[in-house]
Structures are given as structure tokens and as C-alpha cells.
Structure 1
């Protein structure tokens, strides 16, 4: 039996992946509880809050990272739950029930991921100071505190606001900063969007990723991920959990129950590791060049001779260097890169196996099946099913 019906407004910018996941979490609470809510969300997915007290709604879940929304809603008598970023200073939290992504934990997850790769130089690509992006300053403060505690220096660059008319100058300045950094180095970007800037500039400037710069973002944004030649590692925020907990708090308020104003901090969901942080401490610059070329071109059907032409050394010379650094031949490196790509696509996409075989540079689907049987004693479909089972099992833990 459902409870009393309520009209709920979501003041969130659903054009952003962060807000969309929060909305998904709210929806999950609706489906798994006994609430009977009508949800209102702007058709163009933007957050509007004019004349709030005239809306005739029973409750609101809103983005308190926007200072205008926060100021407007702190004056209303309508039950409100805020969502947004965490703060190092407890006085910065609003005096309402509040669910926050843990900015310190997000940055620490990215940092620990880079440390586990053996990286000992660090940089942070943030954003200009802005009241609408207070989470950026919080994340910058977090990495400075974390690296200082471990005895490391962190190079910080906030960059500039992104505008079409200044994009060329912005990327030139970003390139100058990246070139000035010691290498190898791990760079944490404040968002995936900013991480994408790094990947593009590195590509144009000839800075090898991840051999010279390992890059990790925050958001796990599909748009940023698919617009780069190098796949981006990222920290996935717990936005779904934020939405669920915000809805749970609003439910308590509408039931007339007390609801603590102590902020509820949601940790990151996990670190998604991809190519941009696949760092291995390679000392030989020619092996590093070869590795960069193989990562970029393995699935294009390249042979060992094309790697040799790119690096510009003899086969015997590079093969010897490869065995010393990597423990196997150039041919095996090309083979491993194609297999890694195929496994990733089977796990993370629904594309047909015949299409994956073609994308990964295998001459036929039958050939890819033979490779998987040899390496995993599984067919590609069995490998995909096993990966999906592991994901489902982990989500239940």
C-alpha cells in the first residue's frame, strides 16, 4: 500500500552526467520504497528556481553547488534536501539535510591509483576559482594536503575558462605547463572534461601517455571517454547513492520525522582503470616510443616492420631492448594490445563479437575465437558472460 501522494521537484542540471546519476538514484528509491511521488523535472533538463514558493510542491531535491539555488532555497518553507560537494570547513555546509560527494576521497582515490603504479611525481589540473565550482577548489586543496603528507610536491595549474574564441591560446598555455613538468608524472584532472584537454594537448605535443604523463579524471563521463584516442582512467563518483540517500532524507521530512542536518558524505564508487594510467616504468626511450605507437596502432593491423620504421632502429636492436624492458618480443606486444582491446570491448560494450574482431584487427571472427581459446580456454562470448557475472557479483557486495 502506497503512502500519501506528494509532488516533488528536482532542481538539477540533467544535461550533466553527475546530475543524471543522482536523478537515477532518486528514481531507484521510488521503485524500491512505498513512496508515491510525482516528480517534476524541466523538459530541457536545466535547473530553474524562479518563484519557488508559488510552485505548490511538497518537497525539493536540489543542486546546492549552485550558490543561487542554495540562497533561494534556504529561504523557502518547503522541505528541501541539498546535494553537492563536500567541504573541508564544516561552516561551509548549508543548514539543511545535505548529501555530498566526498571530494577528499575522490582525489585520494585518484592519487592512490597513481601511487600504486609506482609514480612519484604529481600534478593537478584544476579550474579557475569560481563560486559555481567550489568543488574544484576543494579538490585542489585535497591533493595539496595529500601529497604534502606523503612528502611529495604537487604542481598545480588551474588553466582558463573554456571558450571557442580563446581555445587555441588556452591549449598553448596548457601545453607549455605540461612540457615544463618533470616526467614521468601522474596528473589528476579535476573533471573528465579537463582530463580530455590533457589528452588532446599531449597528442598534439608528442607527450607520450601513459609513459611520460599518466592522466586520471573524475566522473567516468562517457562523452569524455569516447572523444579521445587514448581511453581515460577515471574515478567514478557515488552519484547514484547520493540520489538514493537524498530521496530517503526527503521521505523522512515529508513523513514529519526529524532529519539530521549533518552532511552525509558519499565515497567514490570505484576507480575505472584504462589506458591513460597503464603506466609501467620503462626507462628506454626507444621502447617507450614503440609502446606508444603500438597502443595507438595495434588494432590497425600493424606489423613489426612498421614499429621499426616509426622508431627508426634495426630489428635486432629494438627486439633486444624490448626483451630487456618488457620480457617479450615486439610481436607479442602487438598481440597483447589487440587482446587487451578485445577483452575491454567484450566487458564494456554490447557490440557483436564479429564487429569486435574487425575493430581489434583480427583477420576473422574464427581467428579471434582461436586466440581466446588459447589464452583463456573460453570463447569470446564465454569471456563476456564471465566478466558480466563478476560485475553483478561485485555490485551485490
Structure 2
């Protein structure tokens, strides 16, 4: 398993993978955290037959493919599936978020995501489609999920987020594409002096207990069935290793 254990999504996949492994004999697992030079060197040394991986960098997928390693991707970063993939139903996640906020009686809605992240696009689309079916509209905002160490880059993106939130009609219900994005919204509201949830209600995705509880106001979040995704990912990997063809679409 080649996962990013700083992410709640990846961490919660692991129990489902382990549970599924009990149904198969002779499977040996190694859990590798992150895509570092040390990790990739270890893969070269161990020569695994298959990998369950969170592919958010196509060069990692290429590295594995060049070595003939079977891959099951558990991310939904890219629109076109380059590898066999098990993912959540992100359109439905967005729809569920819209229904949740509608039930709480808001008149104004918004979605906040990341650019160049397919899962974010799908959740935003599902959110907007559900609201449109109820004759409502939503404001949208997206910016890069920058991991830059340069403070000026981070500050500029945060300033743009603050400007967007400042301009929204209040009270407003905002769905974030995930809990990291929800955390950014809470921080922005704190800087703007906006009361959460009275003026701005925030809904995240992933139910990352650490991230949700670290926020100035605890974040409500949609919990995904990641254990099921982990279980299905292992079953698919075993099928590929047994010679079955890869599915022609994400599962």
C-alpha cells in the first residue's frame, strides 16, 4: 500500500484493506507512507507484484507501471482514469451536501473547492445540480491546493478566499470539497469576524476527526465509506493479479 497517511481518507482505507486480506491466503502487505525517494527506492528493492496507491502525481503511476507493477488507484484526482480505480461517488457526495444544507433552511448556498482536482469538480457539480433541481443556485470558488512553502503564495490564495466569503450574502451554507478546505473557510471566517455557523455554516467531507476538531469551530463533515473502498480495492488488485482484465471505468 502506497498511501499518504497525513490524509484521513487514506488512513481510513487501511482497515478495509486488512479485513479483505483475511479472505485471501498468502498475501503479504507493506504499508508505505508518502511518495519519497526512500519509499520509491524500497519499492525497487522489494519488487511488489501489486500496489494500492493514492495517485495524485502521474509520475508515481508511471514509475510503478515501468516496473510492471499492477496498480489500483484509490484517488479521484484526475478526470481520466489512467489506472484501474476505486473511488467514492463524488457526484452523490455533492448532492448529499446540498440536501443537508437545504434541510437546515438556508436561503443562500456556496461551494468551495480546489482547481485541478476531479473529485472537487464532481462534488461541486453534484452540489449545484441538486440545488438547481430545487430551484436554488450556488456561488462557487476554487483555487489551487498549493503545497508551496512560500508564504506569499499561501497568503495570496487565502486573501482571495477571504474576498469571496466577504462578498457572499449571509447567512450562507457553504459546502467544502473536503475537510482541509472546510478548515480554510473556518480560518477565513475567523479573520473576517464572521460567526460560524450563525452567518456562515460550513460542511466538509472525509470526517477527519483531527482536522474537524482542530478548527476554531468544530466542522460538520460527510463521512465516506472508505473501509468499503479499501475492501473493494484489494479485491480488484487480487483479480488483476489473477489475470482478470482491468475494468474500463472507475468502480
What is the TM-score of this pair, normalised by structure 2? 0.84
1:113: which partner in 2?
100
Q: 2:24 aligns with which of 34, 43, 53?
A: 34
Deviation at 1:177, TM superposition (A): 1.7
Residues 152 and 52 of structure 1, relative CA distance in 2, 3 Å threshold: same
Distance 2:156 2:54 in 1: 32
SS at match of 1:71: helix
Whether the 8 Å contact between 2:99 and 2:130 is mirrored in structure 1 is no
Distance 1:79 1:174 in 2: 40
Q: 2:208 aligns with which of 221, 229, 233?
A: 221
The 5 A counterparts of 1:144-293 are 144-159=128-143, 161=146, 165-166=151-152, 167-258=154-245, 260-264=247-251
SS at match of 2:4: coil
Distance 1:71 1:126 in 2: 27
Whether the 8 Å contact between 2:93 and 2:126 is mirrored in structure 1 is no
SS at match of 2:207: coil
Whether the 8 Å contact between 1:103 and 1:138 is mirrored in structure 2 is yes
Whether the 8 Å contact between 1:11 and 1:49 is mirrored in structure 2 is no
| C-alpha distance after superposition, 1:302-359 (max 9, x if no partner) | xxxxxxxxxxxxxxxxxxxxxxxxxxxxxxxxxxxxxxxxxxxxxxxxxxxxxxxxxx
Q: 1:65 aligns with which of 56, 59, 62?
A: 56
Deviation at 1:150, TM superposition (A): 3.4
Deviation at 1:141, TM superposition (A): 3.4
Ranges in structure 2 where 5+ consecutive residues have no aligned partner: none
| C-alpha distance after superposition, 1:106-144 (max 9, x if no partner) | 1111111101112232111112x34xx332333333333
Distance 1:28 1:14 in 2: 18
2:73: which partner in 1?
82
Aligned residues: 245
Bigger share in helix: 1
Report 1 or 2 for greater relative contact order, CA contacts < 8 Å, sequence distance ≥ 6.
2
Q: 2:47 aligns with which of 43, 56, 71?
A: 56
Deviation at 1:234, TM superposition (A): 0.5
Q: 1:46 aligns with which of 23, 34, 45?
A: 34
Ranges in structure 1 where 5+ consecutive residues have no aligned partner: 1-9, 265-397
Deviation at 1:35, TM superposition (A): 2.4
Whether the 8 Å contact between 1:23 and 1:243 is mirrored in structure 2 is yes
